[in-house]
Structure 1
Amino acid sequence: MRHDRLIVFGAVALCLLMPIQTRAQEPDTWTDPYQPALLPGFVGDMDAYADAPRYTIDMVLNVTVTEATITGHQTVLYTNRTPQIPLDTIVFRLYPNLESYGGQMQVSNVTADGAPVTPKLDDTNTVLIIPLPATLEAGASVTLEMDFTTVIEVGEEHLYAQFSYLEGVLALPNAYPVLSVFEPGQGWWQVTDHPQGDAVYSETAFYLVDITAPADLILVASGSEIDMTTNGDGTLTHHYAAPLMRDFALMANSRYVTLTGEQDGVTVNLYYDPGVRRGTSAAQAGLQMALDAVRIYNTSFGPYPFSELDFVQTPTSAGGIEYPGLIVVTDDIWDASDPFFEFVIVHETAHQWWYSLVGNDQTRDPWIDESLAQFSVAVYVHDLEGEAGYEGSIEFYTSQYEDFIATYPDQKIGLPVIDYEDNAYFYMIYEKGPLFYAELAETYGYAQVITMLQDYFAAYRYEIAEPGDLLESFETSLGEDLDVLFEEWVGEMPVG
């Protein structure tokens, strides 16, 4: 990708988701079902997160000409991992009920350790508060079960159409009740405003998901499909394992075909509709871009631990959207001659490191993942084109940011999404944000910034990072105080 092409796609970026089969036998250890979804060198990572949430979900997907419906049952083993804070409630998020998603979700038959409980919904119907029959002490676990139904009607298109049923394509991220995050000192995360950007904030967890769907549908989901059962009624049951992933997404279309490659042991799949725009030729070019991005980010930041990474063509109105182990790319740019096509693939691939593996509150601190994903595009260009390409990328970000603040107020990059009005979110997070990392590179050297990012990734992989964590990690790597620089660019940092 020539750095001058970044100018084109950066401008476009402003335009910016039956029968239940019983497994034959109980595995020898709890980690066995998940192992195929991890590269061999990372199977041992699961033991360190044995107390992370474990979802077991059975879904049945029914599709008609007017709507798609998921009926499901899920069991969640939840361990109180707080620092000595007893819990009387546990909160799940029903994201399809957000206005920005445009779906409908209902939950029923909720139990805690087998005892029926009566949950409470907030006024938005997106926060489900489950009272526990007994206080859950730190280190103790509870098993929660619930039934749920999720519906999306054909043609519903809200915000980025991330949750939709359009042109025969099903985009169903977070189509199940998702555990919220408990933050010491603040309680359960319950943000419901979603004017733009990303809506989900969740912990690394383990997923075993069975999805029964019409046999003609090609399903693409987070994690890896480890088995498939043929039923006698025209359906298939797909068995997925998704260990150490932050949430679970599902896409489906009867017209998808697949192009596959491999990089550093990771199977990279592109699912596309050959009848949409330049389907096959774009997929062939896009696969190489994806393989290059995985190689470059593995080397620059740290290894991608999962055995699979999927790219899926959908009618999203965003250029692309990231999910753990799964990236969607819009139909509108599915053309290798469109430079935004490459940008989206590269930017969203970076989110597998920044958001999926190293998590953050995307509503409160969008700069932590989005600005870093933007800078990662410049890292990609640096690897392919050298210093000149990297400088061209940074110059473009600079010109876009300076043009914006010539007319509109400048703001810090460390604000919540709701504090940016209209296009300010894009220009502060996506154009000014990467310049923060460029400033570090200008001051301390590009190689030093790469080392800092490697240390940060190693320290917070599978974890949740806050602004103070990023500051502390960078200061430790560099051996210098960065308080002044962070306050200048990000804003006031937490004390302690």
Structure 2
Amino acid sequence: MKRWIWGSMIIAAILVVLFLAGQAWDPDRSADKPVAVSQVEQQVETDTSLPVYTADVQVDPQAHRVSGAVIVRFVPPDPQEVYFHLYPNVFRDDAALQTANWEYILGEERQPGGITVSQVTVNDEAVAPRVNGTILHVPLPSTDRGKQVTEISLAFELQLPRNNGRLSYNDHALWLGNWLPTLAVREGEEWRLDPYLPMGDPFFSELADYHLRIRVPAAYQIASTGAESIAVITETKPEGEKLYEVDGTSVRDFAFVVMDETYHALVDKAGDTLVRTWWQEGDDPKAIRRLHDVAVHSLLYFNETFGNYPYPEYDVVKTGGFFGGMEYPGIVFIQGSFFDDESVFGSAVVAHETAHQWFYGLVGSDAIREAWVDESLTDYATMDFLQQYDNTMAESYIRMRTSRGRQAEVLYPDLAVWQPLHQFPDWQSYSDLVYSRGATMLWELRAKWGAKQLNTVLRQYAAENRDQTGTGQELLQAFSQAAGADATPYFDYWLRLQTEKKREAEAWAAEGAKKRRQENDG
């Protein structure tokens, strides 16, 4: 994700992170048109090694409500229990979010929201789940513990909150990120039940397949992680509804935006991928074309630089909020003000979120414990793309990033880039370290090794970790191998702010550059 921080010392905007949003909500109110769990049918043939989410949902744009049911078919990693994240529930109680970092997310126009779960069954047997904030605990019946594949079904009603974030709405659209009950990750003997923090992107999920049936009023349209251009779309009368049946295959999440008739799409092909940039009537035509052009060309560039993009469609969607941009597989949310803005930063946001299709999407990472693994690589990729796309545009952005990155060791001597989210005290330090410092580390190395050599290392890392979860340690090993020497001093200086290792770091970079030259000459 990208969020901009404005400080008295900063003329430019700083790429940071995201959050979520809301509207008035009554947790005891039932949906107008609930969808029974029994109505959700398994409809997609898939690799049973991946979880499969099959959901049937009804969207009420006027009430800002989504009701429906989901079946999750998977192999349980624990024979006794399973956990789901209910991320929208962080916005149930404003009083619990009264800190400066949450205020930055919530904004002035705020309403609470949340998700209510009911009718939970495991292999058609009713169970008694427990909800604790954003975590849903589902016990597995003892009679089913010998079964390899399990189906958990649940009905839910989501009342969208309203604020400046990833899950919110305005008068013309609803944008739904991190909205669906999502299986928690189990690492070894540990369930990852990380709290929803205001900093960064506090989400960690693994690959899954999704099949969604999404009902909206006939006057509305959607863009999603799936490919609407090849989806089954049925309009029903007299209900006045439109039904979308969309699939997301081997993706880490499923997000979508519901838009009214003021929205239109600018469409082009980038290789085999259809790129659709969604804008609104009244937006600046030059800004629309510029953002769309960046989306198309950055997708082509990253496809060539970091490996093939496998999805048939990529949606760049204008939303409300004030979060810069937010990435999901096959779709990104872009702050609405950039569609009427001639500055460089909207273009940088689109390029950044597009790079996330590789670093987060195709190559997963743990954004809670080591956020730099995707954000630093993504912002380096943004600078790399911008420099070959528009040198004037690139110059101001790279200058801002590298300036903040170099200053970070003075500004934050007690912090690090390579640390978990909860250790960052505020958005500014998170931005300066995870985005600027980490990206500057790679940009400095690019100056010594050359763009081709550095990008080759990142391409190989992407190939080796595609459809898996990459780690900081694997990146360190990749650069050690490329240089023929242990990269730890370089990473310690830049990512752990161990300034006493600066000379060792410079020596390692120089030795690596020498090795790369010798290989090229040979």
TM-score, length of structure 1 as denominator length: 0.83
Aligned partner of 2:179 in structure 1 is 175
Point out where structure 1 has 5 or more consecutive residues left out of the alignment: 1-7, 32-48
Q: How far, CA to CA, are the matches of 2:82 and 2:15 in structure 1?
A: 38
Aligned partner of 2:405 in structure 1 is 401
Q: How far, CA to CA, are the matches of 2:87 and 2:312 in structure 1?
A: 28
Residue 135 of structure 1, CA deviation:
8.5
What letter matches 2:12 in structure 1? A
> Structure 1's 144 and 444: CA in aligned 2 closer, same or farther, altered over 3 A?
same
What letter matches 1:241 in structure 2? D
What letter matches 1:351 in structure 2? H
Residue 381 of structure 1, CA deviation:
2.4
Secondary structure at 1:322 match in 2: strand
After superposition, residues 350-369 of structure 1 pair within 5 angstroms as 350-369=355-374
* Alignment equivalent of 1:113, drawn from 123, 147, 162: 123
* Deviation sequence 1:152-207 (CA, Å, 0-9, x none): 25xx21xx42211223321111222111111114x111111412221221111100
Contact 2:169 2:320 in 1 (8 A): no
What letter matches 1:209 in structure 2? L
Q: Structure 1: which 4+ aligned runs deviate by more than 4 Å?
A: 14-23, 135-139, 388-395, 403-408, 476-479
Secondary structure at 2:64 match in 1: strand
Q: Does residue 1:287 correspond to 2:262, yes or no? A: no
After superposition, residues 472-483 of structure 1 pair within 5 angstroms as 472-483=477-488
Aligned partner of 1:453 in structure 2 is 458
What letter matches 2:489 in structure 1? V
Q: Does residue 1:334 correspond to 2:342, yes or no? A: no
Q: How far, CA to CA, are the matches of 1:68 and 1:26 in structure 2?
A: 27
Residue 362 of structure 1, CA deviation:
1.2
Contact 2:344 2:393 in 1 (8 A): no
Aligned partner of 1:313 in structure 2 is 318
What letter matches 2:248 in structure 1? A
> Structure 1's 78 and 474: CA in aligned 2 closer, same or farther, altered over 3 A?
farther
What letter matches 1:461 in structure 2? R
Q: Does residue 1:30 correspond to 2:30, yes or no? A: no
Aligned partner of 1:201 in structure 2 is 204
What letter matches 1:235 in structure 2? E
Residue 60 of structure 1, CA deviation:
0.7
Contact 1:91 1:128 in 2 (8 A): yes
* Deviation sequence 1:445-471 (CA, Å, 0-9, x none): 432211111111111112112222322
Contact 2:356 2:374 in 1 (8 A): yes
Aligned partner of 1:438 in structure 2 is 443
Q: How far, CA to CA, are the matches of 2:11 and 2:386 in structure 1?
A: 14
Residue 491 of structure 1, CA deviation:
3.9
Worse overlay, 112-121 or 339-348: 112-121
Aligned positions, number: 451
* Alignment equivalent of 2:113, drawn from 98, 103, 123: 103
Secondary structure at 1:363 match in 2: coil
Aligned partner of 1:247 in structure 2 is 253
* Deviation sequence 1:344-369 (CA, Å, 0-9, x none): 11111111111111111212211111
* Deviation sequence 1:86-106 (CA, Å, 0-9, x none): 432111100111137842101
> Structure 1's 297 and 10: CA in aligned 2 closer, same or farther, altered over 3 A?
farther
Q: How far, CA to CA, are the matches of 2:397 and 2:324 in structure 1?
A: 19
Contact 1:9 1:339 in 2 (8 A): no
Point out where structure 2 has 5 or more consecutive residues left out of the alignment: 1-8, 21-32, 92-101, 107-111, 498-522
Q: Does residue 1:379 correspond to 2:384, yes or no? A: yes
Secondary structure at 1:251 match in 2: strand
* Alignment equivalent of 1:188, drawn from 191, 202, 213: 191
What letter matches 1:216 in structure 2? A
* Deviation sequence 1:283-308 (CA, Å, 0-9, x none): 22221111110111011111111000
What letter matches 1:93 in structure 2? H
Secondary structure at 2:174 match in 1: strand
Worse overlay, 216-225 or 142-151: 216-225
Q: How far, CA to CA, are the matches of 2:49 and 2:42 in structure 1?
A: 19
After superposition, residues 104-183 of structure 1 pair within 5 angstroms as 104-122=114-132, 125-134=133-142, 140-152=148-160, 156-157=162-163, 160-183=164-187
Q: How far, CA to CA, are the matches of 2:332 and 2:309 in structure 1?
A: 14
Aligned partner of 1:237 in structure 2 is 243
* Deviation sequence 1:209-260 (CA, Å, 0-9, x none): 0001111112111111210111220111111111011101111121211110
Contact 2:360 2:374 in 1 (8 A): yes
Residue 9 of structure 1, CA deviation:
10
Contact 2:87 2:196 in 1 (8 A): no
Q: How far, CA to CA, are the matches of 1:26 and 1:53 in structure 2?
A: 12
* Alignment equivalent of 1:78, drawn from 74, 77, 83: 74
Q: How far, CA to CA, are the matches of 1:141 and 1:470 in structure 2?
A: 34
Aligned partner of 2:514 in structure 1 is none
Aligned partner of 1:259 in structure 2 is 266
Q: How far, CA to CA, are the matches of 2:143 and 2:186 in structure 1?
A: 15
Aligned partner of 2:519 in structure 1 is none
Q: How far, CA to CA, are the matches of 1:188 and 1:257 in structure 2?
A: 42
Q: How far, CA to CA, are the matches of 2:10 and 2:179 in structure 1?
A: 31
Secondary structure at 1:346 match in 2: helix
Secondary structure at 2:12 match in 1: helix
* Alignment equivalent of 1:420, drawn from 407, 424, 428: 424
> Structure 1's 179 and 353: CA in aligned 2 closer, same or farther, altered over 3 A?
same
Q: How far, CA to CA, are the matches of 2:492 and 2:409 in structure 1?
A: 19
Contact 2:42 2:54 in 1 (8 A): no
Q: How far, CA to CA, are the matches of 2:120 and 2:422 in structure 1?
A: 33
What letter matches 2:79 in structure 1? L
Worse overlay, 217-226 or 94-103: 94-103
* Deviation sequence 1:19-49 (CA, Å, 0-9, x none): 98999x998x814xxxxxxxxxxxxxxxxx5
Aligned partner of 2:279 in structure 1 is 272
Q: How far, CA to CA, are the matches of 2:403 and 2:113 in structure 1?
A: 39
Q: How far, CA to CA, are the matches of 1:162 and 1:332 in structure 2?
A: 15
Residue 385 of structure 1, CA deviation:
5.4
What letter matches 2:335 in structure 1? T
Q: How far, CA to CA, are the matches of 1:136 and 1:379 in structure 2?
A: 52
What letter matches 1:13 in structure 2? I
Structure with a larger share of its residues in strand:
1
Contact 2:121 2:152 in 1 (8 A): yes
Q: How far, CA to CA, are the matches of 2:113 and 2:286 in structure 1?
A: 34
Q: How far, CA to CA, are the matches of 2:494 and 2:192 in structure 1?
A: 26
Percent of aligned pairs with the same amino acid: 28
Q: How far, CA to CA, are the matches of 2:452 and 2:184 in structure 1?
A: 37
Q: Does residue 1:429 correspond to 2:434, yes or no? A: yes
